[in-house]
Structure 1
Amino acid sequence: MKYDLIDSNLFIKNRQKFMARMKPKSIAVFNSNDVYPIGADSTMPFQQARDLFYLSGVDQEESILVLFPDAYEKKHREVLFVRETNPHIAVWEGEKLSKERALEVSGIGTTYWLQDFDRIFYELMTEVDTVYFNTNEHYRQSVETQTREDRFILSCKAKFPAHKWEKSNPILQDLRGTKEQQEIDLIQQACKITEKGFKRILGFVKPGVWEYEIEAEFMHEFLRNRSRGFAYTPIVASGNNANVLHYVVNNQQCKEGDLLLLDVGAEYANYASDMTRTIPVSGRFTARQKEVYSAVLNVKKLATKMLVPGTMWKEYHEEVGRLMTSELIGLGLLDKADVQNEDPSWPAYKKYFMHGTSHHMGLDTHDYGPLKKPMQANMVFTVEPGIYIPEEGFGIRLEDDMVIQENGEPFNLMAGIPLEIEEIEDWMNR
């Protein structure tokens, strides 16, 4: 890992919150992600299962966390299983967690080697009525690969058919949606790294540069600030490419007069940032570009003010749709007849603004968090309205990461990143 060691009190607190929600005589199990193969002896870079990291801070493959608050032996109320290291692994792969280091990272006093899992887990299951399985129930999930969690669930049900089963996910949706201050600080660090990357490219972008060169500038700045890199696949979209919402090939040349949409964010310590800015390749916006940019920015500012405790996510998006409709009419892209005759299931504004405005942010770019309960203080949301006009050859999206406050408007974790038209032009023409 590149990041500084995180205070284990964060993970201790997270486990305490989770275990307080568990039923009597129940056990919960969390598995690390697999190391996924590419071909021959090549693998994809390892990334930890976010739930396991959230509860333990362990950032290593082949790891298991077991939580059993009612265990007969106190030492078995929180247990880690990690891969046993040896001199051969140390030479070929580098340092792995020792039992002492596992305690330092996680605050968990009992660590066993992974090879002992079946024996110890069987012993614990004799005391247990209910097992909490960890499944991915994010509203945007689309997983086709069988995970270590999937294999564990199948194996556990086969070996212990008389036990009852519960889901960890509803608990984690609630807990992970509201951040501890340490988590907000880690997201802030990711945002600060993103800010450095953005300010770097403002002096780099000009007609003739290639989208992949801009991506490389971001990556250089991210890595030199202890980030693993991008929190998600970056979008560097010039001209009409911005009208492809998930444009990620980043292989075109930036042309004079074009706008450049940048949807990029650094990760730090597995926590994500998520920024979008739209800048003029030539360093100055045209009159029409300014007009559309100002409309998007106005919606963003008004939408941000609505991110307060008690706001419902569904109603919030409906209100943002009304704000965007008004702006699109002002831009001449819609008229009142379009609105009067719209399909309620796909309002007229969706022709130019077809995605949502906000999502939870945290360990995942689209993080866990309850969407059918009122917003609460210390939830972190993006705000990202956009207007996409293929017939005019550009699209504009603007996005910041906001922390909901107990009182007043949300706190902008990206307040230092240039956003206003004059700021952007000033930075690009220094």
Structure 2
Amino acid sequence: MKYDQIDNKLFIKNRKKFMAQMRPKSIAVFNSNDIYPVSADTTLAFEQHRDILYLSGIDQEESILLMFPDAIEKKHREVLFVRETNAHIAIWEGAKLDKKQATDVSGIKTIYWLSDFEKVFFGLMTEAEIIYFNTNEHYRQAVQTQTREDRFIIKTKNQYPGHQVAKSNPILQALRGVKEPEEIDLIKRACQITEKGFRRILKHTKPGIWEYELEAEFLHEFIINRSKGFAYTPIIASGNSANVLHYIENNKQCKDGDLILMDVGAEYANYSSDMTRTIPVNGRFSERQRKVYEAVLKVKNEATQMLRPGTLWSEFHIEVGNIMTSALIDLKLLSKTDVEKESKDWPAYKKYFMHGTSHHMGLDTHDYGPLKTPMEANMVFTVEPGIYIPEEGFGVRLEDDVVITQNGDPINLMDTIPIECDEIEELMNN
């Protein structure tokens, strides 16, 4: 790993919170992700399952976390299984965690090699009545590949048909949605790395540069600041490509007079940042571009102030839609007649702003977190309004990452990243 080791007190707290919500005589098991093949002997880079990472800090393949608060032997109330290392593995793949290192990272004292799992698990299941399975219930999930968790669930149901089944995900949705101070610090570190990347590309952007060259400048800055790279597939969309919401080809030349919409964020220690900025290729906004840009910025600033404890996510989006409607009328993109005739299912503003304004973020860019209950302090949300005008050949989106606070004043973790038109122009032309 490139990042500094995280204090294991965070993971000790996270496990304590999770186990406090487990039912009596229950076991919860969490598996690492698989290493996925490409072809021949090639694999994708390993990415740890965020749930086992959240609960243990273990960022290594073939690891299993087991929690059993009512275990008869105290040593089995928290157990971690890791892949046994040896000299051969160390030479070919690099050293893996030994038992002491696994304890140092996780704060878990009982460490077994993975080869001992079946025996230890059987013994503990004879004491348990319920097993918590970890299923993916994120509202945007669309996973088609069978995961290591999936295989574990199938196998365990067959081997232990007499046990009751419970779900880990509802607990994790609530816990992961509210960040610990250490997590907010890690997200802020990711945001600071993103800022360095953005300031770097402001110096490099000029007519004729290619989108992928800007992508490379971001990546360079991220990696030299101890990030693995992008928290998600970056969008570098110049001209009309900005009107394709998930444009990721990044293969066009940036032309004089166009805008570039950049939805880019660095990760740090597996925590995400999520930034969007829109800049002029030639370093100067046209009058029309500036008007649209400042309208989006105004909506973003007003939406940010609405992120307070007690706010309902669904009502928040309705109110942001009302603010955006007024902005679009001022820009003469909508008329009052358009609004009067709008459908309740698809408001008039959706023609130019068709996506949501905010989502949870943290270990995942679209992070776990409750969406049907009121917002709470220490939740972290994006704020990302946009206006997309294909007929005029450009789109503008602006996005920051915001912490909800107990006193009601949200904290913008990206408040030092340039966003005002005049500052962007000054930096690009200095």
TM-score of Structure 1 vs Structure 2, range by shorter chain: over 0.9
Structure 2: how far apart are the matches of 1:242 and 1:10?
Answer: 39
Residue 405 of structure 1 and its aligned partner are, at CA, apart by 0.7
Structure 2: how far apart are the matches of 1:87 and 1:140?
Answer: 42
Residue 409 of structure 1 and its aligned partner are, at CA, apart by 2.0
Q: Which residues in structure 2 correspond to 1:285-324 (within 5 Å)? A: 285-324=285-324
**Match status 1:342 vs 2:346:** no
Residue 412 of structure 1 and its aligned partner are, at CA, apart by 0.6
Structure 1: how far apart are the matches of 2:400 and 2:216?
Answer: 22
The answer as to whether partners of 1:378 and 1:404 remain within 8 angstroms in 2 is yes
Give the counterpart letter for 1:83 in structure 2.
Answer: R
Structure 2: how far apart are the matches of 1:318 and 1:255?
Answer: 36
Which residue number in structure 2 is paired with residue 89 of structure 1? 89
Which residue number in structure 1 is paired with residue 241 of structure 2? 241
The answer as to whether partners of 1:179 and 1:380 remain within 8 angstroms in 2 is yes
Which residue number in structure 1 is paired with residue 132 of structure 2? 132
Q: Which residues in structure 2 correspond to 1:69-80 (within 5 Å)? A: 69-80=69-80
Kindly provide the CA deviation profile for residues 11-63 of structure 1, in whole angstroms up to 9, marking residues without a partner as x.
00000000000000000000000000000000000000000000000000000
Which residue number in structure 2 is paired with residue 11 of structure 1? 11
Which residue number in structure 1 is paired with residue 278 of structure 2? 278
**Match status 1:383 vs 2:362:** no
Which residue number in structure 2 is paired with residue 216 of structure 1? 216
Residue 408 of structure 1 and its aligned partner are, at CA, apart by 3.0
The answer as to whether partners of 1:71 and 1:124 remain within 8 angstroms in 2 is yes
Structure 2: how far apart are the matches of 1:30 and 1:423?
Answer: 47
Which residue number in structure 1 is paired with residue 330 of structure 2? 330
Which residue number in structure 2 is paired with residue 159 of structure 1? 159
Structure 1: how far apart are the matches of 2:114 and 2:414?
Answer: 41
The answer as to whether partners of 1:352 and 1:388 remain within 8 angstroms in 2 is yes
Kindly provide the CA deviation profile for residues 337-384 of structure 1, in whole angstroms up to 9, marking residues without a partner as x.
111111110111000000000000100000000000100010000000
Structure 2: how far apart are the matches of 1:297 and 1:409?
Answer: 18
Give the counterpart letter for 1:355 in structure 2.
Answer: H
Give the counterpart letter for 1:313 in structure 2.
Answer: W
SS at match of 2:193: helix
Structure 1: how far apart are the matches of 2:408 and 2:74?
Answer: 44
Q: Which residues in structure 2 correspond to 1:42-57 (within 5 Å)? A: 42-57=42-57
Which residue number in structure 1 is paired with residue 418 of structure 2? 418
Structure 1: how far apart are the matches of 2:186 and 2:176?
Answer: 14
SS at match of 2:166: strand
Which residue number in structure 1 is paired with residue 361 of structure 2? 361
The answer as to whether partners of 1:211 and 1:252 remain within 8 angstroms in 2 is yes
SS at match of 1:95: coil
Identity of aligned residues (%): 72
The answer as to whether partners of 1:178 and 1:379 remain within 8 angstroms in 2 is yes
Structure 1: how far apart are the matches of 2:263 and 2:426?
Answer: 21
Q: Which residues in structure 2 correspond to 1:14-53 (within 5 Å)? A: 14-53=14-53
**Normalising by the residue count of structure 1, what TM-score does the alignment of the two structures yield?**
1.00
The answer as to whether partners of 2:309 and 2:408 remain within 8 angstroms in 1 is no
Structure 2: how far apart are the matches of 1:372 and 1:284?
Answer: 42
Structure 2: how far apart are the matches of 1:409 and 1:23?
Answer: 37
Structure 1: how far apart are the matches of 2:312 and 2:136?
Answer: 23
Kindly provide the CA deviation profile for residues 113-153 of structure 1, in whole angstroms up to 9, marking residues without a partner as x.
10110111000000001000000100000000000000000
**Match status 1:112 vs 2:119:** no
Give the counterpart letter for 1:97 in structure 2.
Answer: L
Kindly provide the CA deviation profile for residues 144-163 of structure 1, in whole angstroms up to 9, marking residues without a partner as x.
00000000000000000010
The answer as to whether partners of 1:304 and 1:409 remain within 8 angstroms in 2 is no
SS at match of 1:203: helix
Residue 257 of structure 1 and its aligned partner are, at CA, apart by 0.2
SS at match of 2:308: coil
Structure 2: how far apart are the matches of 1:164 and 1:408?
Answer: 42
Q: Where do 5+ consecutive residues of structure 2 fail to align? A: none
Residue 93 of structure 1 and its aligned partner are, at CA, apart by 0.2
Structure 1: how far apart are the matches of 2:261 and 2:335?
Answer: 27
